Chain A
Amino acid sequence: MTTEEEKPLTASLLSLFGGILMLINGLLAGINKGPIILSTSPVSSPQEITSSTSPSWARVSFGFRGWAEGLWIPMTLMFASIVLYCSIMLYIRPTQRKTLCLLILLLSILGIPFGGGFIIGSILGVIGGAIGFEWPNPPGKTFFGKLLRALRLDPTLYRDIRQDPHALKYAAYAIIFVNILSGLGGGLYSFSVDKIVNAQSLDIPFKTLLLGEPLLDISILAPAIINIGMAVLKWITLSLLVYIVGILVIGQKATFEKIAAAVAFAYVPISLQLFMPFVLTSNPLLTFTWPFAVFVLTNAWVTLSLILAIRQVSEIPLWKSVGITSLTGAFYLLANQEFFMKLDIPYSIRFFLQPEPVFLTAVACLVIVATALGTFTRH
């Protein structure tokens, strides 16, 4: 991925597969006369999944009801065919890449309400289009390539950041982009859950859970927008903590700029929260288990990324990096729970570690882990 290509093969292949998936999804939705909804078990009434004693049930909807049906389907097929055409043309005539990639990007995003090639197709299209746009840059050195490398926990990414004079600029873009995605995912999910749980009748759960009708409102943009400002503050806080702890404890030489860039890319797994609203579940799972599982998974991923980022940028052993992450994590948790999470943002998902003594014990445990790993020992 990091070697230069004579032709934009990776971008072309990614968008080609994206186009094929969009085409298959469109055909299936057409034959089905509605969005493709996969559920863990058949349900004939919303009562079966909205009561507090409901058995575990989940569904994923590829496409929105009202969009992935009727006359929209031929249009979806046209979108998919144009993506296919553009992706092959991108390989044949890379000089026209800007127009072609713009089309691929636009149509892949527009395809999401129609199923987006089982979502994966749209993702491949967006990545392919974005990577192709930056050709002849090697795919791994493009903006999306870096995001993917961060997701793959690729240690060479952070080595590249160390040497890249423009790393901070891309890091700022990454923070903004990642938090727009996670804000949209969280906003859409909590808005849907709010409407389903507080519905006066069963018609909203019926339409949303069983038929795949989306619950959309302009207010779901609020968490995405507020998330950007909040994310920048959190990013600076965490970067400062890592930097200060690094200087004080291990006497590191990495600059704040490099630390901040690495921390920004470590945040990338948070973007996966965008996919949270695609899966809706029965009631006990809907309000806590599913969002909590996504929250834990993405944050655990961020923690691993952060350990890797600190290790590579500060050029320290793994155990030392784990120690610094634990120590900064303890301070960060305090700042997060006592300040950032106290701000009441509409339709945002927040998890508080309570009661307070348990929270403080967890923070103390992180400090103990850091001490046990010999973080404070200078060699």
Chain B
Amino acid sequence: MVLTMVTIILSATALLVPWWSVNISSEASSLLKFTMKTDYYIQQTVTAAITMNGDTVVNSSRYAPIVTNSTVSNFIFDPDRKSINLTVSGVAGTGFCNITIPRWLLDANLTEWTVIFDQRELTAQEYTVTQNTGYAFIYLNYTHPEHEIEIVGVRAETETQSISLGNLTENTEVLSLWLNVTYVASLGGLGLSCLMLVLVVLSSFGRDASRFLPFVGYIATVLLFIAPVLLAMNFPSAVSHFSTLSPVSVPPTWTPISPSQITGFWGNIKMQTSLNLPNWANGGNFWVWGPDAGWYLTFTASLLIGASSLLTRTIIKKKVEMK
């Protein structure tokens, strides 16, 4: 009974959590100070999230370099306000600050940038903006001791995005089909697991329901087992012809990833030295993909309900022997 209850909890939870995901690996995340994860749900939705690991990005010379003779603190990227905030401080005297902003993170045309200095919006003559395809450079002078600077752009990478497969411009029919098959099989397995629990309860109250128990259990096992297996077999080919894997764009300075590289349900792309990453990081993963919580929970549920069915059969046989 306990195993059946656990199966029901696992397979019900599986319907609410992602089944497959692609994300930057933990080692790449610690190097870049960014995390990016795209989740595929069985209900035909895709969610993507890109997050910065707090203000530690200030220390990264790779992604938000700030050249200054002041001390920088309180660095915050606010995607809702489309702004970067920081505080500069130092002993008395003239200070300068040259902030390099990755344009995939925060962007604007050359004349659209706004710089707010101690709550006052600066005029275009009070600071300098230059930009190339990858970065915008904002330079300004001030006198110490302490000032708050806010740089406001026009477009910011939102931290999370959720999109329905049906709203994508690509042909998602094949993926939709297999997600639907998996969904139906999981629901069927969940329903039969619930039925098994009812039969176990009835048996414990003396009703003669035990003879159906192993049969119901075996069918539930098969359904819960084929749901993740079918998805694993068909998912890579279904996504490989997409134009992009994620509704959030991958920063241009990162190792690129394209759907055609998804040749297996599990996989990874290694780090590339050409991307200004340290040599010792070679051999580490940049992108990793594979099944997520939903897939593993359903797979585990199938094993547990299988074990539960076998145990039920043994107990019934033992009771018959004792009679």
User: Is A85 a contact partner of B310 (Cβ separation < 8 A)?
Assistant: yes
Which B residues are in CB contact (< 8 Å) with A77?
296, 299-300, 303
Q: Which residue from A81, A206, A210 sits with its C-beta under 8 Å from B303?
A: A81
A248 on interface, CB distance cutoff 8 Å? no
Within 8 A of A (CB), among B234-289: 266, 278-284, 288-289
Residues on B with C-beta less than 8 A from A206 are 27, 280-281, 284
> Which residues of chain A come closer than 8 Å to B291, judged between CB atoms?
30
Are A81 and B292 neighbours in the complex by a CB distance under 8 Å? no
Beta-carbon contacts under 8 Å, A311-338 to B:
none
Whether a CB of chain B sits under 8 angstroms from the CB of A247 is no
Q: Is the CB of B280 within 8 A of A201?
A: yes
Partner of A44, one of B31, B282, B289, B303: B31
Instruction: Say whether B9 faces chain A, with CB atoms less than 8 Å apart.
Output: no
Q: Which residues of the other chain, A, contact B280 by a CB distance below 8 angstroms?
A: 46, 201-203, 205-206
Closest approach, in angstroms, between the C-beta of B229 and any C-beta of chain A? 9
Interface SS of B by simple majority: helix
Q: Which residues of A contact B26 (CB under 8 A)?
A: 32, 34, 37
Chain B residues with CB below 8 A from A253, complex form: none
Q: Tell me, yes or no, whether B307 is within 8 Å of chain A by CB.
A: yes
A34-B288, A206-B280, A210-B27 as given contacts; A85 in contact with B296, CB under 8 Å:
no
Given A42-B30, A77-B299, A92-B311, decide whether A201 and B279 contact each other with a Cβ distance below 8 A. yes
Closest chain A residue to B10, Cβ basis: A27
On whether A85 and B307 interact (CB within 8 A), knowing A33-B288, A93-B314, the answer reads yes
Tell me how far the C-beta of A61 lies from the nearest C-beta in chain B, rounded to whole angstroms: 12
Main SS at interface, chain A: helix
Interface size on B, as a range, is 35 or more
B220 beta carbon closer than 8 Å to chain A? no
Chain B residues whose CB sits within 8 angstroms of the CB of A27 once the complex forms: 293, 296-297, 300
Contacts A201-B280, A202-B280, A206-B280; A74 near B299 (Cβ below 8 A):
yes
Instruction: Say whether, besides A78-B303, A203-B280, A73 and B296 are in contact (CB < 8 Å).
Output: yes
B65 close to A (CB within 8 Å): no
CB closest chain-B residue, reference A46: B280
- Given the complex, which residues of B lie within 8 Å of A44, measured CB to CB? 30-31, 33
Q: Which residue of B lies closest to A20 (CB)?
A: B6
Cβ B314 vs Cβ A89 within 8 A: yes
Query: Chain B residues near A21 (CB, 8 Å)?
Result: none
A148-162 residues at the B interface, CB under 8 angstroms: none
User: Is B323 an interface residue, CB under 8 A from the partner?
Assistant: no
Is B304 on the interface with A (CB-CB < 8 A)?
Answer: yes
B318 in contact (CB, < 8 A): yes
The answer, yes or no, to whether B184 is at the interface (CB within 8 Å) is no
Is B174 an interface residue when CB atoms closer than 8 A count as contact? no
A70 touches B (CB below 8 Å): yes
List of B residues within 8 angstroms of A45 by Cβ: 31, 278
| Residue B315 at the chain A interface, CB threshold 8 Å | yes
- Contact flag A81-B300 (CB < 8 Å), given A33-B290, A70-B266, A203-B279: yes
Closest 7 pairs between A and B when the two form their complex, measured CB to CB: A202-B280, A81-B303, A85-B307, A30-B296, A70-B266, A44-B30, A203-B280
Binding site for A on B (CB under 8 A): 3, 23, 25-27, 30-31, 33, 266, 278-284, 288-293, 296-297, 299-300, 303-304, 306-307, 310-311, 314-315, 318
A residues adjacent to B (C-beta < 8 A): 23, 26-27, 30-34, 37, 42-46, 69-71, 73-74, 77-78, 81, 84-85, 88-89, 92-93, 201-203, 205-207, 210-211
Q: List 9 A-B contacts (CB under 8 A).
A: A31-B292, A33-B289, A45-B31, A78-B303, A202-B278, A203-B280, A203-B282, A207-B283, A207-B284
Given contacts A31-B292, A205-B280, 5 further A-B contacts (CB under 8 A): A34-B288, A73-B296, A74-B299, A85-B311, A201-B280
